[in-house]
Amino acid sequence: MATISSIKQADDTHLRNPGMPLDLDVLDRIRVNLSAVERRASTLGGRRTVKKETQAAWLLKAVTCIDLTTLSGDDTPGRVRRLCAKARQPVRADLLDAMGMGDRHLTTGAVCVYHSMIETAVDALKGTNIPIAAVSTGFPAGLSPFDLRIKEIEASVAAGANEIDIVITRGHVLTQNWQALYDEVKAFRAAAGEAHLKAILGTGDIVTLRNVAKASMVAMMAGADFIKTSTGKESKNATLPVTLVMVRMIREYLEITGYKIGYKPAGGISTAKDVLNYQIMMKEELGNDWLQPDLFRIGASSLLGDIERQIEHFVTGRYSAGFRHPMA
């Protein structure tokens, strides 16, 4: 188990996924036992308990994996600058000092914004190693003309985005057109160049866990660096059963190719208790490498405030009011 003294920022040492040819035989062999998945997910929280110092350590690790996000129609440069300031100093200095962490440079995993806010984020994060992730390809529906989606990726990379969160065409999954999905993600990967590609599957829209499993595998075959559940805009976002299916596809892809793919649950993860369940699943299913921000991210906007409250409780023995931990 982690301890507070073991918390560190990860270094990205694994080789990047180059993709592979689309293999329909692999897809045909994919099976999902719904009852077994639901049973495994439902028992997760009761089988492993983390408390006190260990819990605080896991929560600090979760902070380093958060993609601190603002994706609202009323986003302003001021809001993005406040978000970036929080990414630089996500946990109050006095709390870190009390835990002997005052000398550690703790930041969030990334800041995630729309294309129009990349320039502001680049300026606000100057001098840090915090990546800027931009949502792209007609986010959140992904139904804009294909050539415009490609140009949007290229424009965001040129503006300074280190990571591109793309949305797939869910219709390709619903019609089982795996070649079209593969070609689409492969083209997005090529347009992203050196920027890492995070493929959003829209799991709440593609109906079945078997579809989730197959879409996950196709995206990885096409070269995705991360697979991600949701845009956060769907009516149903990240869940533990969906996560279990996706991380087992990551494990299978690793067995086939030797390449490690990252995972990002997004939407609906708002409490420290929620994120601990996801961390435990990553550790049990994939191992400690997937507790690091180069292979695990959490798409959330309100989660950080609750984590900071829990850390304050660990340090002081009491909770402060929620309004003392604003996000932006």
Identify the CA nearest to 228 among candidates 69, 36, 87, 108.
69
Up-side HSE of residue 137: CA atoms within 13 Å toward CB? 25
The neighbour count for residue 218, using CB atoms within 10 Å, is 31
Catalytic hit among 86, 186, 198, 264: 264
DSSP 174-224: HTT-HHHHHHHHHHHHHHHTTSEEEEE--TTTS-SHHHHHHHHHHHHHTT-
Residue 241, preceding peptide bond in cis (omega within 30° of 0): no
Identify the CA nearest to 224 among candidates 253, 255, 256, 266.
253
Active site residue 264: yes
Catalytic hit among 186, 198, 214, 228: 228
Strand locations in the chain, DSSP E?
66-69, 110-113, 132-135, 163-167, 196-200, 226-228, 262-264, 298-300
DSSP 234-275: SSS---HHHHHHHHHHHHHHHHHHS---EEE-BSS--SHHHH
Active site residue 165: yes
Catalytic hit among 67, 165, 205, 274: 165
For 108, residues 6+ apart whose C-beta sits below 8 A from its C-beta are 63, 64, 66, 67, 68, 86, 87, 90, 130, 304
Distances (CA, A) of 166 to 153, 191, 205, 319: 8, 11, 15, 38
Dmax over Cα atoms in the chain, in whole Å?
A: 56
Identify the CA nearest to 34 among candidates 209, 166, 152, 165.
209
Distance CA 189, CA 193 (A): 7
Cβ–Cβ < 8 Å for 230, 267: yes
Cβ–Cβ < 8 Å for 2, 58: yes
Question: What residues act catalytically?
Answer: 165, 228, 264
